[in-house]
């Protein structure tokens, strides 16, 4: 995109301020107003660990087309202040020809900004705010961006009215005065980068975060119980579910730790209610033993892991895809189970619903690997289609012979009774057991039950949901990725296509069991395969390599967090590779 | 129509316990099945939840719904089940290692949470399944291979902890007194909220000295109370061998409204429209 073009199809802006300055609120207002005007876009946050006084930036990209990842560079940067900005300013480079607006009272911009090829405009944001009753610097910033990108005041005020509605009419009017002051100030910059008009709206738009979408997808799938222990960046899944579950006759219990939360959902699911919990890496580590219990006792549960930078506490507020190994291989013993990953924010809805379907149908734990980059991103999307699965546990029916809870069946799935059903009594057990559920240390029982559980997991028809294969069918170059990086890879392929370089995308939603046939089919005809993943050690590459032959030239673009791999980097790799 | 009548044997399964001959847990199993027969709830409406250890083998020996989970987490499984299915009678079973060591944190929070269920801990002051190591309730000078000469640590006081953490019903019994155990379990199940019953249940294999317990236990000399301060004083000063119901509180049990209706999520979806 060109910062000086009159009408851009993409504009990225960042609002920077120390935690508590309201940068995130400003970004959220602008994104929603853009959505109401017909544009697409997304908002992510760059925050430090401190709740107040730390660094915070709202990163927003507006687009005429659905956008699934942030831009590499920013066309506009509004700095409410520069406190701690040196800690994170390198993560938001200003585009060549971009515009930086800062308050002279806040001191000099950081070196990275001063050295960038951009226009720096001084604007007394703080003074403007002080001069107005109830004035707030973040609302002045809303006005600045409103003017610069060509949003209408009316749309912005619609959003402000809803957000500040509870604070009364005066608060809304104060907000309006600030926004108008910002608009007026920006009108004097003589520098505008307005958005190209939006495409015609063909369906309703939603504004949703990945974490909310996971929660809603789970409810669509039939989840009616959750247990919760707060952890960044998964807490919003749980905070969304608390009132949402209550509104549909379900319940959420706050647990004392992750050991309790996973065991609570195991208990609730044993009682017949589809159940979920959400956590991040440290919590998943604590849950591993009980995930094995769910596998052995064949108790359906869904565990959402919104991945963050690890190991240990790592960087709690930043994204990584480095929990693949623990999700897939973290169980002791041979514990067949399922791992899935949403292919972006919008897909969190589908993948969560699908995860519930698989868990309930297969009476198995399913781990859903989301991550901070999609979990906490707020995105404008077309209203998602209704999806319905015929989800139900294979029911217990009373018969004359004693009930066999773990009966061997053709598909490996045994009828499951629910407490209260007469004649269906059994003890669910993590001990190796007979078909009736009685504890056993016999060799044949161990073998029979392992085989039964493998049959149900590997024999299941996962349909077309294993992942996506997109782009030029004839291309011999494949970008192979998974989960949240799908959007970046897709944009890279589009950018390459515009240059006449062909590549195609294969991205996995189904991580375990590895969809062998589908993956080999999707890779047929490839000569070069570029693995793309947000992991220092290349966990995804090693996982795939352990399962299928890779008779291709293989390269890997893999990196730890916190900097997210973007479309430009992926495109550069392909471009250079193809030029060799 | 007469309500169906149940016998203790209706609550027993056909699986033979792995317990050593003379283990106190046989008596606890007997007391539980007798108590359930007294209550007269059909076995399929009762769930028995446990963790790991000798005592935690108990669910499979009943004819109720059972869950034999991982070490220390029976209370969490039981709480999830009871909140999700308030219609069921939920019993959580544990031992002193499972309940007070690895599961200690859940014990505190289960008392606080006050979900309407009954927690029975078979306390034999030793890890039996791993062949004789000191547990949180073991005397400090009890010699073992793992802690030669004793741990030197003060024993954990389950009843005090339960009371301080907010349990709504606190009792101690001796496994050998089946009649008293049965009656106390009935009372515990009937009392709303989180009921805690410690049952002194001798391990004759690794703690043969506990055979003497039958001569050492004695009925509490004072009646039960609903005053936590009085109960605390009493429990703090007893000799650990007092039996009977010591505290019966009046706290409101944990409540979550759950429904079997499918629930309409269209309003939740509409909230995301802009």
Domain match, A352 and A434 both: no
Helices (H), A103-151: 111-114, 125-130, 137-149
Q: What is the CA radius of gyration of chain A?
A: 26
Indicate the SS3 state at residue B131.
Answer: coil
Question: Is pLDDT of B1 > 60?
Answer: no
> Contacts of residue A256 in chain B, CB cutoff 8 Å?
105-106, 108-109
> Which position has the token pair 């030793």?
B126
Query: CB-based contact (8 Å) between A156 and chain B?
Result: no
Domain match, A181 and A94 both: yes
Domain match, A370 and A496 both: no
| Shortest CA distance from A422: residue in chain B | B44
Mean pLDDT within A213-218: 98
Phi and psi angles of residue A532, each rounded to the nearest 5 degrees, phi first = -130, 125
pLDDT at A4 (0 to 100): 44
Domain match, A330 and A219 both: yes
Candidates A256, A275, A437; nearest CB to B106: A256
Candidates A257, A428, A438; nearest CB to B15: A438
Domain match, A220 and A189 both: no
Candidates A32, A263, A438; nearest CB to B73: A263
Query: CB-based contact (8 Å) between A396 and chain B?
Result: no
Query: CB-based contact (8 Å) between A356 and chain B?
Result: no
**Distance of alpha carbon A181 from its chain centroid, rounded?**
36
Q: Report if residue A200 sits inside a domain.
A: no
Q: Is residue A377 reached through a cis peptide bond, with omega within 30 degrees of 0 on the bond before it? A: no
Question: Is pLDDT of A49 > 70?
Answer: no
pLDDT at A296 (0 to 100): 98
Mention every residue, 6+ apart, whose C-beta is less than 8 A from residue B21: B204
Q: Report if residue A327 sits inside a domain.
A: yes
Number of independent structural domains in chain A: 4
At residue A269's C-alpha, the angle toward residues A333 and A256, to 5°, is 80
Domain match, A442 and A512 both: no
| Boundary (domain end) residue, out of A461, A479, A494 | A461
CA atoms within 13 A on the CB side of A337: 33
Q: Does the beta-carbon distance from B59 to A427 stay under 8 Å?
A: yes
Q: Nearest CA of chain B to the CA of A278: how many Å?
A: 15
pLDDT band at B130 (very low <50, low <70, confident <90, very high): very high
Query: CB-based contact (8 Å) between A225 and chain B?
Result: yes
Helices (H), chain B: 25-39, 74-84, 96-97, 104-113, 158-165, 178-190, 213-216, 228-237, 266-270
Q: Which range marks the domain in which residue A430 is found?
A: 394-461
pLDDT band at A315 (very low <50, low <70, confident <90, very high): very high
Q: Nearest CA of chain B to the CA of A482: how many Å?
A: 26
Q: Does the beta-carbon distance from B274 to A419 stay under 8 Å?
A: no
Domain match, A96 and A84 both: yes
Mean pLDDT within A158-163: 94
Q: Does the beta-carbon distance from A266 to B77 stay under 8 Å?
A: yes
d(CA A241, CA A218) in angstroms, rounded, equals 9
Mean pLDDT within A565-572: 96
Q: Report if residue A155 sits inside a domain.
A: yes
Q: Does the beta-carbon distance from B65 to A267 stay under 8 Å?
A: no
Q: Report if residue A545 sits inside a domain.
A: yes
pLDDT at A330 (0 to 100): 98
| Shortest CA distance from B82: residue in chain A | A268
d(CA A280, CA A160) in angstroms, rounded, equals 33
Question: Domain holding A479: CATH number?
Answer: 3.40.50.920
Question: Is pLDDT of A3 > 50?
Answer: no
Q: Report if residue A542 sits inside a domain.
A: yes
Q: Does the beta-carbon distance from B263 to A261 stay under 8 Å?
A: no
Question: Is pLDDT of A534 > 50?
Answer: yes
Question: Is pLDDT of A135 > 80?
Answer: yes
Mean pLDDT within B73-102: 98
pLDDT at A276 (0 to 100): 98
Q: Which of A50-59, A272-281, B48-57 has the lowest mean pLDDT?
A: A50-59
Domain match, A216 and A299 both: yes
Question: Is pLDDT of B262 > 90?
Answer: no
pLDDT at A199 (0 to 100): 87
Mean pLDDT within A221-240: 98
Candidates B15, B259, B273; nearest CB to A204: B273
Q: Report if residue A285 sits inside a domain.
A: yes
Domain match, A372 and A426 both: no
d(CA A164, CA A184) in angstroms, rounded, equals 22
Its ipTM equals 0.98
Query: Which of these, B33, B61, B67, B106, lies nearest to A272 by C-alpha position?
Result: B67
Domain match, A433 and A503 both: no
What is the count of residue pairs from A and B with beta carbons less than 8 Å apart? Answer: 192
At A180-192, the pLDDT tens digits run: 999 999 999 987 7
| Boundary (domain end) residue, out of A161, A195, A229 | A195
> Contacts of residue B274 in chain A, CB cutoff 8 Å?
32, 35-36, 205-207, 380
d(CA A66, CA A381) in angstroms, rounded, equals 6
Question: Is pLDDT of A127 > 50?
Answer: yes
Residue A376 structure tokens: 């906490």
| Boundary (domain end) residue, out of A416, A433, A461 | A461
Q: Nearest CA of chain A to the CA of B99: how many Å?
A: 13
Question: Is pLDDT of A53 > 80?
Answer: no
Strand A40-47 relative to strand A528-533, pairing: unpaired
Q: Does the beta-carbon distance from A427 to B60 stay under 8 Å?
A: yes
Q: Does the beta-carbon distance from B274 to A255 stay under 8 Å?
A: no
Domain match, A228 and A373 both: yes
pLDDT band at A51 (very low <50, low <70, confident <90, very high): low
Average model confidence (pLDDT) across chain A? 94
d(CA A292, CA A331) in angstroms, rounded, equals 6
Question: Is pLDDT of A492 > 50?
Answer: yes
Q: Report if residue A1 sits inside a domain.
A: no
Q: Does the beta-carbon distance from B65 to A36 stay under 8 Å?
A: no
Phi and psi angles of residue A169, each rounded to the nearest 5 degrees, phi first = -60, -40
pLDDT band at A5 (very low <50, low <70, confident <90, very high): very low
Q: Does the beta-carbon distance from B78 to A267 stay under 8 Å?
A: yes
Residue spans of the domains in chain B: they are: 9-270
Q: Report if residue A356 sits inside a domain.
A: yes
Question: Domain holding A313: CATH number?
Answer: 3.40.50.970
Domain match, A83 and A224 both: no
Strand A118-122 relative to strand A94-102, pairing: parallel
Q: Does the beta-carbon distance from A419 to B256 stay under 8 Å?
A: no
d(CA A182, CA A189) in angstroms, rounded, equals 11
Candidates A206, A248, A426; nearest CB to B274: A206
CATH of B9-270, one of 3.30.530.20, 3.40.50.970, 3.40.50.1970, 3.40.190.10: 3.40.50.970
């Amino acid at each position: 995109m060109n910062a000086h073009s009159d009408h851009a199809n993409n504009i990225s802006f960042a609002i920077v301020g120390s935690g508590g300055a309201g940068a995130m609120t400003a970004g959220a207002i602008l994104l929603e107003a853009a959505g109401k005007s017909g544009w697409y876009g997304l908002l992510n946050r760059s925050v430090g660990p401190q709740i107040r006084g730390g660094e915070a930036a709202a990163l927003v990209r507006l687009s005429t087309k659905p956008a699934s990842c942030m831009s590499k560079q920013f066309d506009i940067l509004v700095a409410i202040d520069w406190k701690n900005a040196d800690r994170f300013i390198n993560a938001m480079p200003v585009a060549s020809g971009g515009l930086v607006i800062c308050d002279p009272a806040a001191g000099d911009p950081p070196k990275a900004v001063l050295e960038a090829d951009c226009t720096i405009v001084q604007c007394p944001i703080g003074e403007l705010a002080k001069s107005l009753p109830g004035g707030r610097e973040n609302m002045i910033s809303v006005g600045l961006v409103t003017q610069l990108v060509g949003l209408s005041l009316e749309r912005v005020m619609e959003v402000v009215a809803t957000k500040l509605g509870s604070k009364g009419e005066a608060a809304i009017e104060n907000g309006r005065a600030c926004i108008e002051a910002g608009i007026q100030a920006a009108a004097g910059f003589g520098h505008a980068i307005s958005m190209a008009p939006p495409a015609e709206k063909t369906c309703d738009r939603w504004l949703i975060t990945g974490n909310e979408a996971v929660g809603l997808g789970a409810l669509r799938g039939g989840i009616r119980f959750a247990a919760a222990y707060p952890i960044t960046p998964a807490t919003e899944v749980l905070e969304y579910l608390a009132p949402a579950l209550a509104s549909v006759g379900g319940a959420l219990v706050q647990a004392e730790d992750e050991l309790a939360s996973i065991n609570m959902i195991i208990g609730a699911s044993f009682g017949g209610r589809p159940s979920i919990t959400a956590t991040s890496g440290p919590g998943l580590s604590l849950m591993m033993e009980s995930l094995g219990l769910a596998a052995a006792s064949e108790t359906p549960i869904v565990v959402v892991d919104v991945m963050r930078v690890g190991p240990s506490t790592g960087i709690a507020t930043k994204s990584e895809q480095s929990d693949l190994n623990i999700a897939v291989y973290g169980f002791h013993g041979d514990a067949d189970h399922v791992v899935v990953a949403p292919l972006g924010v919008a897909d969190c809805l589908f993948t969560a619903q699908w995860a519930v379907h698989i868990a309930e149908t297969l009476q198995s734990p399913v781990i859903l690997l989301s991550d901070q980059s999609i979990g906490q991103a707020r995105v404008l999307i077309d209203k998602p289609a209704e999806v319905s699965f015929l989800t139900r546990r294979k029911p217990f029916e009373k018969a004359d012979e004693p009930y066999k809870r773990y009966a061997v069946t053709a598909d490996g799935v045994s009828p499951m009774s629910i407490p209260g059903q007469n004649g269906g009594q059994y003890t669910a057990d993590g001990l190796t057991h007979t078909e009736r559920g009685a504890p056993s240390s016999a060799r044949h029982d161990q073998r029979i039950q392992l085989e039964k559980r493998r049959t149900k997991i590997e024999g299941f028809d996962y349909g077309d949901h294993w992942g996506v294969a997109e782009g030029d069918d004839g291309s011999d170059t494949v970008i192979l990725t998974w989960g949240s990086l799908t959007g970046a890879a897709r944009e890279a392929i589009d950018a390459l296509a515009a240059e006449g370089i062909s590549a195609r995308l294969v991205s996995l939603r189904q991580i375990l069991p590895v969809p062998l046939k589908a993956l080999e089919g999707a890779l047929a005809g490839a000569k070069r395969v570029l693995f793309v993943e947000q992991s220092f050690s290349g966990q995804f590459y090693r996982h795939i390599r352990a399962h299928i032959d890779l008779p291709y030239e293989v390269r890997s673009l893999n990196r730890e967090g916190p900097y997210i791999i973007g479309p430009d980097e992926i495109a550069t790799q392909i471009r250079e590779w193809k030029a060799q | 129509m007469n309500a169906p009548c149940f016998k203790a044997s209706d609550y027993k399964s056909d699986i033979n316990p792995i317990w050593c001959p003379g283990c106190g847990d046989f008596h606890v199993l007997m007391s539980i099945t007798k108590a359930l027969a007294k209550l007269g709830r059909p076995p399929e409406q009762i769930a028995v939840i446990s963790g790991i250890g000798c005592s935690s083998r108990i669910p499979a020996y009943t004819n109720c719904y059972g869950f034999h989970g991982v070490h220390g987490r029976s209370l969490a499984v039981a709480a999830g089940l009871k909140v999700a299915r308030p219609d069921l009678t939920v019993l959580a079973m544990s031992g002193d290692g499972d309940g007070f060591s690895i599961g200690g944190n859940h014990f505190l929070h289960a008392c606080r949470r006050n979900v309407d269920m009954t927690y029975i801990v078979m306390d034999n002051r030793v890890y039996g399944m791993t062949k004789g190591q000191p547990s949180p309730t073991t005397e400090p000078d009890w010699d073992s291979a793992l802690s030669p000469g004793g741990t030197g640590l003060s024993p954990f006081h389950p009843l005090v902890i339960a009371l301080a953490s907010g349990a709504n019903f606190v009792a101690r019994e001796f496994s050998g007194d089946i009649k008293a155990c049965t009656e106390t379990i009935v009372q515990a199940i009937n009392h709303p909220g989180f009921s805690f019953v410690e049952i002194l249940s001798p391990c004759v294999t690794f703690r043969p000295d506990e055979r003497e317990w039958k001569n050492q236990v004695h009925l509490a000399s004072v009646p039960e109370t609903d005053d936590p301060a009085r109960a605390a004083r009493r429990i703090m000063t007893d000799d650990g061998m007092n039996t009977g119901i010591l505290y019966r509180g009046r706290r409101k049990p944990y409540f979550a409204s759950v429904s079997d209706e499918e629930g309409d999520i269209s309003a939740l979806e509409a909230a995301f429209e802009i």
